[in-house]
Amino acid sequence: MTFGVAFAVVRVLVRYASVMDACGLTVPPSRLRLAVARITNQPVPQSRAPRILRLRPTRTGLVLRVKLRAGQDAFDFVAASDRLRHSFVMQNVTAREIRSGVVELRMTGYDVLKRVHMPTLAAGAGPMRVPVAMREDGEVFYRDYRQTPHALNVGATQSGKSVYQRNLIAGLAALDVALVGIDCKQGVELAPLARRFTALADNPDTAAELLDALVEHMADVYQLIRREQRLSADVPDAEITADIWDLPDHLRPTPIVLVVDEVAELALYASKDEEKRRDRIITALVRLAQLGRAAGIYLEICGQRFGSELGKGITMLRAQLTGRTAHRVNDETSANMAFGDIAPDAVVATIQIPTDRPGTAVAGDSSGGWVRIRTPHLTLRRAVNLCNTHSERTPSVPALDPFRPVLPSPVKVPAAAAETAPALA
């Protein structure tokens, strides 16, 4: 334990009772204690603060777990978090309910989002769980596809949306997963990472065909699950499956993550033919969002705006995107598109993101909870190298073979410059 952490622990313990009283987080003494003090001519008992259950130092601050007194509520601590921050002289204090009667206060001693340092080995990573950013409370923010299958990522230009996407793809590159990309900006964002992509579309026409192929693949996976359910009387309940994760390893299809770089380019149209193509694309996306989870197909939808002005079917698609991440936006309406229907408080936090902190975002889900995060800067060169390193993990999905990205021919590097040249895409 460093001197700074030890000093913070002592400061919290010494000032705990007085701070809780000043912040209105104490309860008056019971009538029994008052009566006993009167009978025995003792001083009047003081108000009681919540009892400390555990205090644990962390890499960025302290974690304090307290037992609530009778009549207290976890919301009282959430509402007083800003007062606690000033009273304990901390950078940030967040409160959350662990279980009935127990609240955890997570305190950070410095601004962890000012300069993001991700842990070298992020504990808690799993088969479909990728560390993407750092939370303001000092914890790692994970993108967990098993828990939150589909997500929406919005943000203005130069807000850090593309860097978030790069970190996500770089994390997925090391997993046994098929990456499918749609980048209608002629592939400028995703084409450099093509060696790790199973399928890639760089224009709306190809995207429509690719999405139709994904829908057909989803139907084939459901047929496989149906054949393997084995609904006989002698089969234990634990062996009956309704998704790919309970299938035997040799039968389980490869999970697929579909990354759409700019969804507005798929929804806009200027002619009748383009309108038909647009309806076809949105219909396929809605089907994948509604039915794809059990088939191991997960959506990551990115865009600058994602509102009803993009046409019919957009709000139906947005309703299926449980995870929400909003970077800096240019107007309150864009923030409402992400959080207005699930967490109104997050709307205010989103429009307050400063312009000089790219990568800062507000992340939430349909439960109403939200947190500020910031993605570490990852250059395109570094992301390309990571994808190239894991290119042998790129699986082949027969239904998507026609959309396999065409890789550029390797560039010959002179022998004298070979040692200093970066890895080629």
Q: Tell me the percentage of the chain whose pLDDT exceeds 90.
A: 44
- Greater pLDDT, 44 or 216: 216
CB-based contacts of 274: which residues, under 8 Å, 6+ apart? Answer: 204, 268
Could you tell me the two tokens for 220? Answer: 């084939």
Termini Cα distance of the chain = 44
**Euclidean distance between CA atoms 288 and 308, whole angstroms:** 19
pLDDT at position 123? 53
Q: Tell me the percentage of the chain whose pLDDT exceeds 70.
A: 89
Question: Based on the number of CB atoms within 10 Å of its own CB, is 234 exposed (0-12), middle (13-18) or buried (19 or more)?
Answer: exposed
pLDDT tens profile 100-119 = 999 999 999 888 888 888 87
Nearest to 108 by CA among 133, 126, 129, 81: 81
pLDDT tens profile 303-350 = 888 877 788 888 899 889 989 999 998 888 888 888 877 778 888 888
Strands 323-327 and 360-364: antiparallel
pLDDT tens profile 366-423 = 666 788 999 999 999 999 999 999 999 999 999 999 999 877 654 444 545 434 444 4
| Rounded average pLDDT over 153-161 | 90
Using an 8 Å Cβ cutoff, are 245 and 293 in contact?
no
| Rounded average pLDDT over 18-46 | 82
- Greater pLDDT, 124 or 109: 109
pLDDT at position 301? 94
pLDDT at position 269? 85
Secondary element (H or E) of residue 161 = helix 161-173
Give the dihedral sign, CA 93/99/101/102: negative
Helix (H, G, I), strand (E, B) or coil at 212: helix
CB-based contacts of 15: which residues, under 8 Å, 6+ apart? Answer: 87, 88
Minimum mean pLDDT among 222-236, 276-290, 318-332: which range? Answer: 222-236
DSSP codes of every residue in 47-86: PBPPEEEEEEE-SSEEEEEEEPPTT--HHHHHHTHHHHHH
pLDDT band at 35 (very low <50, low <70, confident <90, very high): confident
pLDDT band at 230 (very low <50, low <70, confident <90, very high): low
Secondary element (H or E) of residue 120 = none
Helices and strands: H and E segment counts in the chain: 13, 14
Backbone dihedral angles phi then psi of residue 325, each to the nearest 5 degrees = -130, 125
Strand order across the 102-108 sheet: 51-57, 61-67, 102-108, 92-99
Minimum mean pLDDT among 159-163, 189-193, 266-270: which range? Answer: 266-270
As a whole number, the mean pLDDT across the chain is: 85
Nearest to 370 by CA among 312, 414, 326: 326
Using an 8 Å Cβ cutoff, are 208 and 280 in contact?
yes
DSSP codes of every residue in 313-357: THHHHHHH--EEEEE--SSHHHHHHHHTTT-HHHHHHHHT--TT-
Bridge partners, residue 74, by sequence: none
Whether pLDDT at 229 is above 50 = yes
pLDDT at position 419? 43
Q: Is 0.85 surpassed by the pTM of this model? A: no
pLDDT band at 178 (very low <50, low <70, confident <90, very high): very high
pLDDT at position 228? 79
**Euclidean distance between CA atoms 52 and 322, whole angstroms:** 35
**CA dihedral of residues 51, 57, 61, 62 (deg, nearest 10):** -10
pLDDT at position 102? 94
Minimum mean pLDDT among 45-59, 233-247, 275-289, 306-320: which range? Answer: 233-247
pLDDT tens profile 232-272 = 555 555 555 678 888 888 889 999 999 999 888 888 888 88
